[in-house]
């Protein structure tokens, strides 16, 4: 077993059981900051299939080598819940400011090293630091220098001072928005806001769409108003409308005034509909093209990275204008049909004209029945003049059909509590 392991480098490492089957991947290291002595490492936060995060005690880890962690025995599948005395090495210690004990100034934590002792306990022994800009300097010690120091050579590691989130985000930069949302949901409220503040507008918008409503409201309310409006601009109109609907009327009105006029117009239209209706569920930005558009061009449109797979499954065809509300809705073209036909042919010749649109007041139950009856991933929403108002995708329907706390793990599926007794904190 390696004598020294760095937490940030461990992130993403595969975890295997004794027979060689992969259990999941390491996402963090749980440590206990103690008043006396070095912090103790209690275990690993492991992400298992289904994006569930579970606790793996280090006492059950038999080997940590490059690219793999080997565990012994069964992994408890109860969702990891951080206890008040615990700290996440990656989620909370990276970027934390500390003072150097020799009086040479301050630094920030870049990485945390844990080592196994003779009694088989794991403790934090070293910190990899970067000197702060205001540190005292000399010819040999320049600002921005990195250094590896013993844990006893720093002060203030246990302080709860606010810290940046750049290194945490670097550790999770390859995560999909839904996965990063899970990481943020597991952080403390303060740390969650710090991470949100460090994300770019587009990335934060994607993550907000995947967070529970309470987290969405807390993050948006904590942002400076101008930035909150920019993030709403970057969100899908239906998700932005859902989020604004959770705010007070005064907050929502103020943010709508600060949003881009075109984006605000779409959101206002959606806010006018009841939540569990076709109008309240739809997005105003599906792929809408004219009948003369070639199949090759249509395929290029459904390749857009910002489209969900459900919305990419169907091209909606209408007369100009092609912005919602459009001219007369003519029908749709399914992606499988686009792939079977000649690229230069117009999509108007392969329309599914039997694709009936729903009225915006149609209830959620009717929307679900239509999707299930015709095996569709998306449906058009039209007005009384058959103008296309938007489209409903199956993922939006599922969001409303599932329980409000569906993003939380089902406790009945979680098994027993992780094996962290009082002795773990001794």
User: Parallel, antiparallel, or unpaired for β 68-71 and 61-65?
Assistant: antiparallel
Domain with residue 225: its CATH number is: 1.25.60.10
Nearest one of 308, 278, 270, 238 to 380, comparing CA atoms? 278
SS3 410: coil
At 36, the pLDDT band (50, 70, 90 cuts) reads confident
The CA radius of gyration of the chain, in Å to the nearest whole number, is 26
pLDDT of residue 24: 93
Confidence band for 143, pLDDT divided at 50, 70 and 90? low
What is the structure's pLDDT at 135?
52
**Average of pLDDT values for 327-352?**
96
Contact 23, 47 (CB under 8 A): no
Query: Is the residue at 9 inside a domain?
Result: yes
**Bridge partners (DSSP) listed for residue 55:** 45
Which of 339, 263, 323 lies closest to 288 in space, CA to CA? 323
249 and 221 together in one domain: yes
Q: Band of the pLDDT at 147, cuts 50, 70, 90?
A: very high
Claim to verify: residue 265 and residue 355 sit in the same structural domain: no
Measured in whole angstroms, how far is the alpha carbon of residue 355 from the centre of its chain? 34
Assess whether 396 and 292 both reside in one domain. yes
Residue 319 lies in a domain: yes
Tokens 């006029």 sit at which residue? 261
pLDDT of residue 138: 44
Residue 16 shares a structural domain with residue 77: yes
User: For the chain, what is the mean pLDDT?
Assistant: 88
Two tokens at 239?
């998700």
In a domain, 409, yes or no: no
73, 100 contact by CB (below 8 A): no
pLDDT on residue 417: 41
Angle formed at CA 396 by CA 391 and CA 399, multiple of 5 degrees: 165
pLDDT of residue 70: 93
**Distance separating alpha carbons of residues 174 and 362, to the nearest angstrom:** 39
Give the integer Cα–Cα distance in Å for 318 and 328. 6
pLDDT in tens, 54-76: 999 999 999 998 789 999 877 88
Question: In this structure, are 236 and 202 located in the same domain?
Answer: yes
SS3 of residue 100 by DSSP? strand
DSSP characters over 194-216: HHHHHS-HHHHHHHHTTS-HHHH
Strands 97-100 and 154-155, bridge-based pairing? antiparallel
Give a yes or no: residue 243 inside a domain. yes
343 and 374, same domain (yes or no): yes
Residue 424 binned pLDDT confidence (cut-offs 50, 70, 90): very low
Average pLDDT over residues 390-417: 70
Indicate whether 318 and 388 sit together in one domain.
Answer: yes
Report whether 253 contacts 223 (CB < 8 A).
Answer: no
- Asked if omega into 321 is within 30° of 0 (cis), the reply is yes
Band (425; pLDDT cuts 50, 70, 90)? very low
**Residues spanned by the domain of 47:** 5-85
* Final residue of a structural domain among 67, 85, 103: 85
Q: Burial code of 298-308, b = ≥16 C-beta within 10 A, e = fewer?
A: beeebeeeebe
Same domain, 252 and 334: no
The dihedral over CA atoms of 406, 407, 410, 414, expressed in degrees to the nearest 10, equals 170
Q: For residue 132, with 0-12 CB atoms within 10 Å meaning exposed, 13-18 middle and 19 or more buried, which class applies?
A: middle
Examine the pLDDT at 159 and tell me if it is beyond 70. Answer: no
Q: Give the pLDDT of residue 353.
A: 93
Cα–Cα distance measured from residue 392 to residue 377, given in angstroms and rounded to the nearest whole number: 8
Phi, psi of 130 (to 5 degrees): -125, 125
ω before 325 within 30° of 0 (cis)? yes
Same-domain status, 397 and 300:
yes
Given a contact cutoff of 8 angstroms between Cβ atoms, the answer to whether 48 and 24 are in contact is: yes
257 domain residue, yes or no: yes
Say if residue 302 is in the same domain as residue 251: no
DSSP assigned state of 231: H
Query: Half-sphere exposure of 31 toward its Cβ, with a 13 Å CA cutoff?
Result: 28
Note the pLDDT of residue 384. 96
Residue 349 makes CB contacts below 8 A (sequence gap 6+) with none
Which one, of 13, 49, 18, 50, lies nearest residue 28 by Cα? 13
Percent of the chain residues topping a pLDDT of 90? 65
pLDDT at res. 201? 95
Structure-block tokens of residue 96: 């934390």
Q: Are residues 263 and 299 in the same domain?
A: no
236 lies in some domain: yes
- Judged against a pLDDT cut of 80, whether residue 408 lies above it is answered with no
CATH number for the domain that contains residue 319: 3.10.580.10
Question: Of 245, 272, 299, at which residue does a domain stop?
Answer: 272
Q: Can you say whether the dihedral through the CA atoms of 391, 395, 398, 399 is positive or negative?
A: negative
**More confident site: 34 or 420:** 34
Tracing tokens 């038999």 back to the chain, one arrives at 62
**Across-strand partners of 379?**
392
146 domain-assigned: no
Q: How much is the pLDDT for 144?
A: 65
Of the residues 85, 118, 136, the one at which a domain ends: 85
| Two tokens, residue 72 | 């012994």
Residues 239 and 341 in one domain: no
Say how many CA atoms lie within 13 Å of 402 toward its Cβ: 13
Whether the CB-CB separation of 127 and 147 falls below 8 Å is answered with no
> What are the pLDDT digits (tens) for 82-138?
888 899 999 889 989 999 999 888 999 999 999 999 888 999 999 999 998 655 544
Residue 208 pLDDT > 80: yes
Residue 39: CATH number of its domain: 2.30.30.240
Share of the chain above pLDDT 70, in %: 90
Distances (CA, A) of 267 to 71, 124, 306: 50, 50, 18
Query: How many structural domains does the chain have?
Result: 3
- The predicted-structure confidence for 241-288, as pLDDT tens digits, reads as follows 999 999 999 999 999 999 999 999 999 999 999 989 999 999 999 999
- Please determine, for residue 418, whether its predicted confidence score (pLDDT) is greater than 50: no
Lowest mean pLDDT among 129-143, 295-309, 311-325: 129-143
Residue at 193 is within a domain: yes
User: Is 200's pLDDT higher than 80?
Assistant: yes
Say if pTM beats, i.e. exceeds, 0.85. no
């Amino acid at each position: 077993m390696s004598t020294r392991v760095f937490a940030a480098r461990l992130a993403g490492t595969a975890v295997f059981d004794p027979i060689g089957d992969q259990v999941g991947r390491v996402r963090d290291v749980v440590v206990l900051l103690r008043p006396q002595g070095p912090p103790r490492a209690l275990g690993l936060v492991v992400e298992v299939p289904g994006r569930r995060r579970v606790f793996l005690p280090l006492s059950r880890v038999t080997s940590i080598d490059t690219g793999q962690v080997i565990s012994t025995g069964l992994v408890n599948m109860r969702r990891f819940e951080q206890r008040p005395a615990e700290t996440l090495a990656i989620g909370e210690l990276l970027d934390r400011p500390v003072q150097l004990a020799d009086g040479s100034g301050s630094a920030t934590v870049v990485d945390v090293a844990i080592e196994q002792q003779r009694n088989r306990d794991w403790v934090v022994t070293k910190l990899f630091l970067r000197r702060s800009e205001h540190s005292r300097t000399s010819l040999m010690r320049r600002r921005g220098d990195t250094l590896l120091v013993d844990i006893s050579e720093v002060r203030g590691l246990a302080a709860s001072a606010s810290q940046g989130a750049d290194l945490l985000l670097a550790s999770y930069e390859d995560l999909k928005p839904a996965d990063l949302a899970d990481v943020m949901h597991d952080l403390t409220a303060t740390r969650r806001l710090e991470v949100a503040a460090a994300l770019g507008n587009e990335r934060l918008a994607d993550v907000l769409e995947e967070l529970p409503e309470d987290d969405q409201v807390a993050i948006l309310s904590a942002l400076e108003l101008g930035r909150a409006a920019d993030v709403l601009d970057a969100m899908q109109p239906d998700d932005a409308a859902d989020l604004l609907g959770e705010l007070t009327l005064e907050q929502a009105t103020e943010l709508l005034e600060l949003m881009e006029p075109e984006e605000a117009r779409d959101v206002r239209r959606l806010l006018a509909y009841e939540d569990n209706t076709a109008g309240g569920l739809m997005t105003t930005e599906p792929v809408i093209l004219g009948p003369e558009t070639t199949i090759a061009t249509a395929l290029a449109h459904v390749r857009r990275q910002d489209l969900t797979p459900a919305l990419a499954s169907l091209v909606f065809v209408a007369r100009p204008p092609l912005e919602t509300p459009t001219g007369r809705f003519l029908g749709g073209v399914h992606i499988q049909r686009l792939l079977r036909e000649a690229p230069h042919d117009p999509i108007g010749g392969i329309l599914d004209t039997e694709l009936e649109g729903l009225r915006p007041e149609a209830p959620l139950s009717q929307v679900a029945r239509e999707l299930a009856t015709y095996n569709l991933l998306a449906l058009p929403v039209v007005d009384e003049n058959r103008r296309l108002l938007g489209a409903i995708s199956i993922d939006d329907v599922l969001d409303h059909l599932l329980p409000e706390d569906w993003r939380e793990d089902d406790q009945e599926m979680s098994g027993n509590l992780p094996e962290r007794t009082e002795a773990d904190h001794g």
